[in-house]
Structure 1
Amino acid sequence: MKNCLSNSFSGALRTFAYFMASGTHYNLEGIDYLSLYGNEPSAIEQVFAIYANVIQLDENGRVLNAKYAEKRATDYLRAYCDPSFEVKPAYEDWEICLHAPSTANDLI
């Protein structure tokens, strides 16, 4: 089966995941967020949900707003770790929505 995700999206997601997992995302400089992995996984889950909800692709699958999607996602984590940080503009419901996961039956 052909992969439905574009190379552009796969590259953007891989890059975001790398910087999130390595603790070196530039938007989170000075924030100790690596300790959340394994301890507070819902915070990390929300970051990736925001990223996936906000990222936009053109009709050819090219990512149009990777840095903006990263900013919206990492702002959530910054506010989570630093209650004095205010996310601007405030999140809209669609940005923070946690969509249902795929079923166990989707193995191909």
Structure 2
Amino acid sequence: MAKLPEEVRSSLRFFAFYLANGTLDMELLEDIDYRPALVDFGSTLEMVFTIYTNVLEIDEDGLVDDGHAQYRVAQWIRRYCDPSYVVDPPFEEWETRLIGP
């Protein structure tokens, strides 16, 4: 059985660290303590990881570029915590599509 490449596992680990530490995209989420919102309802945290993994880019050598994925998650969190925030560009269906049962 194949395993996720080391680069992907590392990217997921750092993403989870920044998310839990409250340091995900400090510029966009400045002064917003989003962490309580993520644990109030499981679906909020589920969507965060859905967007991250759907947008995550991995090249043919297995190298990860997750900057855009983290930014899109930060935009989603900002909109969730601040309904007046306008996500630009708007999310496309594939970015927020839940996969699996």
- Return the TM-score normalized by structure 1: 0.83
Secondary structure, counterpart of 1:28 in structure 2:
coil
Identity between Structure 1 and Structure 2 (%): 41
Higher Cα Rg: structure 1 or 2?
1
CA offset at residue 19 of structure 1? 0.8
Matched-pair contact (CA < 8 Å) for 2:39–2:45? no
CA offset at residue 60 of structure 1? 1.8
CA RMSD of aligned residues (A): 1.4
CA offset at residue 41 of structure 1? 2.1
Residue identity opposite 1:12 in structure 2? S
- Whether 2:38 is the aligned partner of 1:32: answer no
Runs of at least 5 residues in structure 2 that lack an aligned partner in the other structure: none
The range that moved more, 25-34 or 51-60, is 25-34
Structure 2 Cα separation of the partners of residues 33 and 21 of structure 1: 9
- Whether 2:90 is the aligned partner of 1:90: answer yes
Matched residue count = 99
Structure 2 Cα separation of the partners of residues 83 and 5 of structure 1: 35
CA offset at residue 59 of structure 1? 1.4
- Whether 2:36 is the aligned partner of 1:44: answer no
CA offset at residue 38 of structure 1? 2.8
Matched-pair contact (CA < 8 Å) for 1:75–1:87? yes
**Which string of whole-angstrom CA distances, capped at 9 and with x for unpartnered residues, describes residues 13-71 of structure 1?**
111100101112224221121112431221111011000000111112111x3111100
The range that moved more, 29-38 or 5-14, is 29-38
Matched-pair contact (CA < 8 Å) for 2:78–2:85? yes
Secondary structure, counterpart of 1:4 in structure 2:
coil
- Misfit runs of 4+, over 3 Å: none
Residue identity opposite 1:17 in structure 2? A
The change in CA–CA distance for 1:60 and 1:12 in structure 2 (over 3 A counts) is same
